[in-house]
Amino acid sequence: MTEGLPASTETGVRHVEGDLLPPSSNQGLLEVFRRRYLLRLLVKREISARYEGSFLGLLWSYINPASQFFIYWFVMGKIMRLHDSIPNFAIHIFSAIIVVHFFTETFGAGTRSIVRNKSLVVKMAMPREMFPVAAMLVSLYHVLPQLLILVIVLLSTGWVPTVTGVAAMLLALAIAMTLGTALALLFSTANVFFRDFGSFVGILTNYVRFGVPMLYSFSFIDPMATWVKELYLANPIASAVLLMQETFWVPAVDAADQALVVMPDHLLSRGLIALGVSVVVLVIGQLVFSKFENKIPERI
């Protein structure tokens, strides 16, 4: 370094390929999936951060749904005697919890994701959709062991998976995944502007738990007026739950109890419509996100 001398002028020539472009990415979710390596790092980080400093670590993602399962099974099943009217009540609940938990975790963690990653958001240029998507993938990562437990239990009782069953399950997960990401996109931006939205999501997810046939079976809804029934089934998560039960619960019920099993008609087509609706919500979520993303770094 030459102290005090004016800047030297001999600079090398660097030829840069490419065009003059806006430095901020604006391709939304597409950009997220183009940068899979970064996404993988963020997902890994979230998985290790979620139970950071805890002794049981990843075990918590089993303990949480297991305890929920136990409470529902005990209070609803044993004390409120739902066992009598819903055969295989445990499977009925557990197959529903998997998809509901996946959805609420995606929704909740996704909503908080941008504020939680403030230090990156304000200084680094990256597609910010990355954070809600990473939150969804972390929740999906926790779904797999739960599914595994359910399948092992069912296989031991002689349950055999069918092609339609697997398709119904995948459809259910796709609905929860799409709608969860869509709402996470919408609410993660809103949460930057007003933290109230974070609390509001907590209330919403509570409604979701009771607005789907998880603690009670569809046979409680079926006798109601057609418009009430249709309104109830318009909830994509209700469709997702019913699809899960179609896969796991219905075949597990004994032949003698089949009379107690009530499922809505055209379940698969209803599921496909629900997925379509979720995709529409996702597009809306992306549009809203792109509109407000500009203001995120200054308002966070």
Partner 1 sequence: MATSIKVEHATKVFTLRYHKTFKQVTVAKLRGQKVSDTFHAVDDVSFEIEQGESIGLMGLNGSGKSTLLKMINGTMRPDAGTVLTRGRIAGLIATGAGFHPQLTGKENIFLNAAILGMSEKETARKFDDIVEFADIGRFLDTPVGNYSSGMYSRLGFSVAVHVDSDIFLADEVLAVGDKPFKKKCMAKMQEIRRSGVTLVYVSHAAASVQRMCDRVIVLEKGKLGFDGPTDEGIRYLHYDEPDDEPGSLDQADAELGADV
Q: Which helix (H) or strand (E) holds 184?
A: helix 163-193
Q: Which of 83, 87, 126, 202 binds partner 1 (CB under 8 A)?
A: 126
Please, what is the minimum distance in Å from the beta carbon of residue 253 to partner 1? 46
Separation of alpha carbons 263 and 164, rounded Å: 15
Q: Which of 55, 79, 119, 160 binds partner 1 (CB under 8 A)?
A: 119
Please, what is the minimum distance in Å from the beta carbon of residue 197 to partner 1? 14
Interior angle at CA 169, CA 165 and CA 172, nearest 5: 140
Region near partner 1 per CB under 8 A, out of 20-28, 107-115, 176-184, 259-267: 20-28
Q: Among candidates 197, 189, 204, 175, which has minimal Cα distance to 287?
A: 189
Q: Which of 30, 33, 41, 63 binds partner 1 (CB under 8 A)?
A: 41
Please report, as residue ranges, which positions from 52 to 111 form the binding site for partner 1 (by CB under 8 A). Answer: 52
117 near partner 1, judged by CB under 8 A? yes
Q: Which of 79, 124, 152, 259 binds partner 1 (CB under 8 A)?
A: 124
3 near partner 1, judged by CB under 8 A? yes
Q: Among candidates 64, 192, 51, 195, which has minimal Cα distance to 131?
A: 192
User: Which token pair is 194?
Assistant: 């007003």
Per-residue interface string for the shown chain with partner 1, residues 256-295, x marking contact by CB under 8 A: --------------------------------------x-
152 near partner 1, judged by CB under 8 A? no
CA Rg value for the chain: 23
DSSP conformation letters of 110-164:
HHHHHHHTHHHHTT--S-TTHHHHHHHHHHHHHHHHHHHHHHHHHHHTT----HH
Separation of alpha carbons 185 and 181, rounded Å: 6
Please, what is the minimum distance in Å from the beta carbon of residue 129 to partner 1? 14
For partner 1, the binding residues (CB under 8 A) are 1-25, 35, 37-38, 41-42, 45, 49, 52, 117, 119-126, 294, 297-298
